[in-house]
Amino acid sequence: MVEPGPDEGELHTILRAGARVPDHGKLAPWRFILFRGEARAQFGAELARIHAAAQPGATEDQIAFEANRLTRAPVVVAVVSRVTPGIKIPEWEQLLSAGAVCQNMLVAATALGFGAQWLTEWYAFDGEVNRVLGLGENEKIAGYLYFGSESVAKDERPRPELSDITSNWTPAR
Ligand SMILES: Cc1cc2nc3c(=O)[nH]c(=O)nc-3n(C[C@H](O)[C@H](O)[C@H](O)COP(=O)(O)O)c2cc1C
């Protein structure tokens, strides 16, 4: 994705849409970390460092690829899922709410005319990256959401036939 990305007001709209999701128990079991401007390359430098340490055989090209991950779009938002264990609201529901946050943001960005993509990739599941991000014990990355203008039109992918995934419930005999 290329410039322009969402400006301050548009990003605010996207984030507000993200924060306006079904949330059982009013827990707000999520938070957002923004990567804009130089912060994208600075975070990329951390990814390159962590990748190089974990993969001593990594080539310079591979390390450069990691360094440039977040510069693939003008704005990246990490949606952090923050689960409170041992309360009345099941953890499953708290996690689902974080998924709804991601989808609402994609829909909002698309409605504003931007490209929007939900990626996880390895750096959503890495303890050292989580430390760099300052994630707490009960926090996980739900997704890195990439926003910008589409440089190429997206290919449509096969979608399931509704008839394959839909049924009418009937009582057991
Ligand atoms: C939680 C989650 C993580 C995803 N992570 C990746 C990923 O790491 N790499 C990838 O190519 N697609 C990933 N996807 C798929 C893309 O977000 C998206 O479905 C795909 O680009 C097609 O977009 P569309 O369904 O809006 O057309 C992920 C989707 C979800 C829901």
Tell me the CA–centroid distance for residue 87 and ligand 1, in Å. 31
What whole-number distance in Å separates Cα of residue 102 and Cα of residue 75?
Answer: 14
Is the CB of residue 117 below 6 angstroms from any atom belonging to ligand 1? yes
Q: How far is CA 161 from the centre of its chain?
A: 27
pTM: 0.96
Read off the pLDDT of residues 107-164 as tens digits, 9 standing for 90 and up. Answer: 999 999 999 999 999 999 999 999 999 999 999 999 999 999 999 988 999 999 999 9
CA-nearest residue for atom 30, ligand 1, is 118
- Which domains are delineated in the chain? 8-152 (3.40.109.10)
| Cβ 115 under 6 angstroms from ligand 1 | no
Mutate to test the pocket of ligand 1, among 76, 107, 118 (most ligand atoms within 8 A of CB): 118
Q: In this structure, which residue's CA is closest to atom 4 in ligand 1?
A: 119
Q: Is 32 in the pocket of ligand 1 (CB under 6 A)?
A: no
Residue of 69, 117, 129 with the most ligand 1 atoms within 8 Å of its CB, for mutation: 117
Q: What is the pLDDT of residues 8-27, one digit of tens each?
A: 999 999 999 999 999 999 99
What confidence category does residue 83 fall into, taking pLDDT thresholds of 50, 70 and 90? Answer: very high
